[in-house]
Chain A
Amino acid sequence: MSERPSLWWIDWRLSPGSLVRETIGRFLLFCLLGFGLLSLLLSGGVSRILADRYAITAVLRAEVPSGEGEGLARKAAALPPVRSATYRDPEAAWKEFLRAYPGLDPLRGTGENPLPGYIEIRIRPDRLTVEDVELVASALGAVSQVEQVLAGEDWLPRLLRAGRLASWACWGIFGAFLAGFFLVGRLQERARAVALAGDFAFLAERGISAGRLAFLRAAGAALAGFLLAAVGTAASGGVLFLSLRKFPFLERVVGSPADLLLPRTIASAVLFSIGVAMLCGAASLLGWSSARSGRK
């Protein structure tokens, strides 16, 4: 009985050089896509940026003492949609105001500070919605010490709509990259199938069905893709983690490095790898099919 050769990794055996190049390229691409995926997952698109830029200002009455203002800030911070609430006394408000309008300082002949203290409330990125903002604003507005709540009622919906569009754009770009990868991968698979057509015909003459060959090739490509995507995503996660640790300001855009280890993040990365594997397998099958039919 003659020993039948294994068809797993047939391409590696027939054309190792080109496959190494493809693998390196795919790994780099998956690193890039993994980095993008993790960044998008952590930042929620532009939600974190928006949440960092947006704040509700609860202007206190002039007679509210500092202690009371700080107490109010603590209470506001306990609201579910609130990420942080910071009390600023009138002096801090005045300094901040003068930084915004530096020409006013010498005009204030009396030297009195006409500004009251305020509480700056920031919303969680995932709760930055009109409903949650209104919830917080109404809760603050009901407090007698609060004179006015500035929640950007006139521009917040526009801002959120722009944020949604930006997020969709980010995910669209990510999807476009995946689609591009799929197309390029299909072409690569076809090209390799064409290049190895003689070898495949030889195998067919020896009784190996074309279907089995195509399936095994696709399975190998999917497995390789899964591994490459998983490793690439893990590598990009490590880079992201180190970057966030090294450059904390990135946290305001991306998020906390600890979020990388959240189950939902890991699950997303696994799903991403599976998806990539499926794309790789599909690209292999489509490439084989087009090479056999003579289509491009």
Chain B
Amino acid sequence: MEFGPLRPEMNPGARRILSAFLVAVVSLGIFFPSAVAGARDVAAELRRERGRLLEMKEREEKTARELTEALRMEKRSKGRVDQLQERLKRQKSLLSRIDRKVSALNDRLERAEKAVRELEAAHGQARTELRRAEVVAFFGQRAGAGDPWHPSDRERERHFMRVYLAADAEGVARITRAREKKEEELTGLERQVAVTEKKRTREKKVGDTLLSRQEAERTRLAGIEREKKRKEKELKSLRAKIARMESVVSRVERQVKERERRARKAAAGKSAAREPAEAPRRFASLSGGLSAPLAGKVVTRFGHQHDTTFDVTIENRGVEIEAPSGASVKSIGQGEVAFAGAVSGFGNVLIVQHGGGLFSVYGRMESFLVKQGEAVKKGMVVGRLPESPSGKSVLYLELRAGGTAIDPTSVIPLDR
């Protein structure tokens, strides 16, 4: 019999080790306490190995947690780097746009300056022409004044001279207005260029800041990656050790089973008929039926679940049921308490064996109301959930049949 991992965040190796450990405990310490008297040395060895295994498991869990943390940090850091890159990209695009705008403004500025220069030249020329025309008009009228021979012609010429001078004056005024307007436009453009330049400087500074932040983040990411690699290496080494330990435990378990079988054989007398091994049963055929351990809602489902936070797929061997704090936990069926103790990562764990290779595991409990080896009935209160400030606590429930975890919601009516 082998127990799978009990915690969603545990890696498969650790889960296997814990399962083996539980099976060994159940097999050696609970099922046949009296039949293994001759194997006390093996039990002692098992206890030692169990201690070492627990220690290694804790180290592995710690390393795994650190690795998970490193991965989370790496992911967060990568996210930040991506975010910074995106912002940098946007910043570059913005700077590019600003540059284009500055370039266009400079072009317009140049054109406006040229236009102002041309208008100034035209204005000067027009004013000169006007002054000369006034001089010509003065002398022309002086020459024509008092000419009684062509009075009407003189009158018309004087009128046309006034029209001419007015047109010239209007031309000068028009050029003056155009120049003033162009100068205003030029001033506006210069102001706009100054504002845009200032904006470009500001955005460039922001871009530089983002770049330096990105650089720092990359440096940090590199550190995280180095740390991650170190942790992975460490974890790999640890898992190899655990595997070796698991091998040892399995071997011990087989020995226990063999001795148990021999003890049963001896107790059966001389008939020497070999008792066939108890065939695995199904939870559905458990006498007395099954009931829910408590009233609550399933918050973590059985099987492979994808964690979007860390982008990993976790295999859950059981379910988590959310219930009010301090709620009573009842046995799902009749059986016998095979284990009641603390398991790292699961708090207080109670294992009830229902016979035929059927086990129910209750984790994250505050206290037990039964003792190891005590018979329990369906619906009997076996423990309580811890108190929580939020008023909610979670019960871990795992069902195993023939060493395989099955979905509790498939055999017990649970509120999903």
Contact = CB atoms under 8 A, between A and B. Distances in A.
Contact of A107 (B132, B144, B159): B132
Given A148-B159, A150-B159, A159-B148, A108 B140 contact: no
Interface stretch (B21-29, B39-47, B149-157, B245-253): B149-157
Contacts of A57: 152, 155-156, 159
A53 B151 contact: yes
Interface in B268-298: none
A56 B152 contact: yes
Contacts of A109: 125-126, 129
A101 interface: yes
B133 A53 contact: no
Contacts of A97: 157, 160-161, 164
A101 B151 CA distance: 16
Contact of B156 (A103, A110, A150, A155): A150
A100 interface: yes
B136 A110 contact: no
B157 A104 contact: no
B216 interface: no
Given A107-B129, A114-B164, A152 B140 contact: no
B343 interface: no
B115 interface: no
B129 A103 contact: no
Interface residues of A, number: 28
A116 B163 CA distance: 9
Interface string A146-160: 001010100100010
Interface in A107-125: 107-110, 112, 114-116, 118, 120
B152 A118 contact: no
A116 B125 CA distance: 24
Chain B: number of interface residues, binned into ranges: 20 to 34
B326 interface: no
Interface in A73-120: 93, 97, 100-101, 103-104, 107-110, 112, 114-116, 118, 120
A9 to B, nearest CB: 52
A114 B167 contact: yes
B119 to A, nearest CB: 14
B150 A107 contact: no
A103 B164 contact: no
B171 interface: yes
A152 B155 contact: yes
Interface string B143-185: 0100011111101110111011011100100000000000000
Interface in B315-342: none
B412 interface: no
Contact of A55 (B148, B152, B161, B171): B152
Contacts of A155: 151, 155
A123 to B, nearest CB: 10
Interface string B93-131: 000000000000000000000000000000001100100
B125 to A, nearest CB: 6
Given A104-B136, A150-B155, A159-B151, A110 B161 contact: no
B150 A101 contact: no
B243 interface: no
A241 interface: no
B152 A150 contact: yes
A97 B153 CA distance: 10
Contacts of B167: 112, 114
Contacts of B151: 53-54, 152, 155, 159
A104 B160 CA distance: 12
Most B CB within 10 A of own CB, among A97, A148, A159, A162: A97
Nearest to A94: B160
B189 interface: no
A101 B152 contact: no
Given A53-B149, A53-B151, A101 B161 contact: yes
B137 interface: yes
B144 A115 contact: no
Nearest to A57: B156
B271 to A, nearest CB: 137
Contacts of B164: 97, 104, 114-115
Contacts of B133: 104, 107
A59 interface: yes
A152 B161 CA distance: 16
Contacts of B159: 57, 59, 148, 150
Interface in A138-179: 148, 150, 152, 155, 159, 162
**Chain A to chain B: the 4 pairs with minimum beta-carbon distance, closest first:** A114-B167, A55-B152, A103-B136, A107-B129
21 contacts: A53-B150, A57-B152, A57-B155, A57-B159, A59-B159, A97-B160, A97-B161, A100-B144, A100-B153, A101-B140, A101-B161, A104-B136, A109-B126, A109-B129, A114-B164, A114-B166, A114-B168, A115-B163, A148-B159, A155-B151, A155-B155
